[in-house]
Structure 1
Amino acid sequence: MKVFNIQILKLLVLSLVFAACQSAPTPPPTPPLTPISPTISSDEHIIRLATLDWPPYVGEVLPQYGFTTAIVSEAFKRAGYEVKVDFMPWTRVLQETEAGNYDAAYPEYYSEERVKTFFLSDPLASGPLGFYKRKADNITYTKLDDLKPYRIGVVLGYINTPEFDAADYLQKEATNSDEQNLRKLLLGRIDLVVIDKFVAQYLIKTSIPEAVGTLEFMEPPLLEQSLYVIFSRQVAGSEQKLQAFNAALKTMREDGTLERILKEYGFGK
């Protein structure tokens, strides 16, 4: 009887093992590991852009991040790229892009220093750069040397004009933003601010209404400054992206898209 029971028990165990093997799913094969590309993005069709809050040209609160972003995005779209935009202070924009952590940055003025560090695109647009002062102050000049007696507000990391930036004999006081400089001017802590005319008008209208009628732009401007996209020299394929961007920008000029965007934002002729 014991032998018979043992035999039955063995048969039951074997049956259970066989059933378990039949019902267990076969695990799928392990997929091969995909190597991570050393480029800035895992998607080679995404362009990472760094920029700053500099309305009305570019800003997080502006429609489509401002008209320069609208131009840049459309040009890259035509060139086959999708853009991702990050905002940060301008000094960090330059550092991150130079290091290759971003494909490109915008908008920037031309300078020999920038050409050594970045690839520059064809110009997107331009703006009048000059001085703001208090209306009550009788300040005039015919050459920069005439401005020696005055305290002039500038922004850290900004390019102005080659002559002005090289003028070490001027009393320049640096801050982190154009708005800070305009507020210092309003309070009498500085005498002049070097600034884009449209940026100053926007800031006074939206952030410093008490300056309306008190501060004014000194005509004529120092220079009508062109605005560029700067491409990192540390990112693989930057020159090819630059060429594709410039080609797309050219077609936008030719088919009227560039002028249409400018008009939509109130900058058209």
Structure 2
Amino acid sequence: MFTNYARRRAIGALFVSMMTPPAFLRAASQERWRLYAMEDFLPYSFMAEGRFRGIDVEILDRAADALGVGLDYVPLPWRRALLAFDTSNDDALFQLTPTEERARKWLMVGPIRNTVIVPVVRADSPFTDRLRPERLYRLEDLRGRRVGVVRGFTYYEAFDRADYFIRESSIDERVSLRKLLLGRVDVAIMGRANARHVIRSLGMEKELRVLATPLFREGRYIAFHRNAIGLGRGGRLQRELDRLHADGTVAAILRRYGEGSDAG
């Protein structure tokens, strides 16, 4: 038989349980953002053990946790991801190179991380990081060359505008590197971390070289629509990304993937 004290405690517990929503309702009511990303883009975003993982995904997950936001990732081929975001009301698209056109159209938030764009050459190529026999240090050094790029990618405004080399576009980095190995291009251009992972996955470590000297460095951003919701969410994320860079969290994530702070 309940004592008065036990009865009061039981009534109190019942009251608290009625006032506190169960976990599944709390999860359902959490603010959620829908984000488009490039699929199979090691080490930045990729599926592993049934989960979407990678450097960019982990950085955004950390920021979202701090904001109390849930993220729903939609990995797609890059050109489809661009089109899907541009023609929808979904929240964001990430891994973008900043351009003036994109900044006018979307709210560009970031950078999530920096990327280092490097040349990849065949092992027997005369290109080297030293001054002899041939240098490949500057954009102008590509003059007259056949250059492997990924279709739909924006690299860097000066690179994208340049008309003094021949672009050979491919559907992805793997195809671009296979063309390089077959001699269909002289050099392939890609992010350093991505190049290392793709070369390793293809077993081409002895056939291809990643030159150490970058052609350029650039940030990678996440875009939101320029409407009230997008501006609000983008502003909140910008403040959190700034904090993650300042306190060393982004650098720590990059190191865990075996990359430096400018690794991309």
Q: Show the counterpart of 1:57.
A: 44
- Take 2:108 and 2:35, find their aligned partners in 1: how far apart are those partners? 14
Residue-pair matches, total:
225
**Structure 1 residue 236, shift from structure 2 partner:** 4.7
**1:81 paired residue among 50, 66, 69:** 69
TM-superposed deviation, 1:160: 1.1
Select between 217-226 and 238-247 the one with higher mean Cα deviation. 217-226
Aligned twin of 2:34: 48
Deviates more, 1:132-141 or 1:67-76: 132-141
Aligned twin of 2:106: 118
Structure 2 letter corresponding to 1:194: I
Displacement over 4 Å in runs of 4+: none
Amino acid at match of 1:117: K
Partner amino acid for 2:90? Y
Write the distance in 2 (CA, Å) between the matches of 1:175 and 1:98.
23
1:229 is aligned to: 222
The CA distance in 2 between the partners of 1:146 and 1:257, in whole Å, is 36
Structure 1 residue 268: deviation in Å?
5.0
Structure with greater strand share of residues: 2
Distance 1:144 1:183, change over 3 A: same
Match of 1:175 in 2: 170
TM-score by length of 1: 0.76
- C-alpha change, 1:129 and 1:192, in structure 2 (3 Å) is same
Q: CA deviation at 1:177?
A: 0.3
> 1:1-269, aligned counterparts within 5 Å?
45-52=31-38, 53-61=40-48, 65-139=53-127, 140-141=135-136, 143-206=138-201, 208-209=202-203, 211-233=204-226, 236-268=228-260
1:44-89 Cα shifts (integer Å, max 9, x gaps): 8110011112101111128751021011122122223110001111
Distance in 2, matches of 1:190 and 1:86, equals 32
Q: Distance in 2 between matches of 1:43 and 1:102?
A: 18
Give the Cα separation in 2 of the matches to 1:231 and 1:84: 15
Rg bigger for which structure? 1
Q: Structure 1, residues 205-257: CA drift from partner, whole Å, max 9, x if none? A: 12x10x21221123311112212111133x65100000111122233334443
Are the counterparts in 2 of residues 56 and 199 from structure 1 also a CA contact under 8 Å?
yes
Q: 1:138 to 1:104 in 2, by over 3 A?
A: same
**TM-score, normalised via structure 2 length:** 0.78
Q: Deviations over 1:98-122 (max 9, x none)?
A: 2234311111222212212221112
Partner SS for 1:262:
helix
RMSD: 2.2
CA distance in 2, matches of 1:45, 1:185: 45
CA distance in 2, matches of 1:165, 1:157: 11
Aligned to 2:23: none
Aligned-pair identity in percent equals: 28
Deviates more, 1:147-156 or 1:169-178: 147-156
Unmatched runs of 5 consecutive residues or more in structure 1? 1-41
Consecutive unaligned residues of structure 2, counting only runs of 5 or more, are: 1-27, 128-134
Matched to 1:153, the amino acid is G
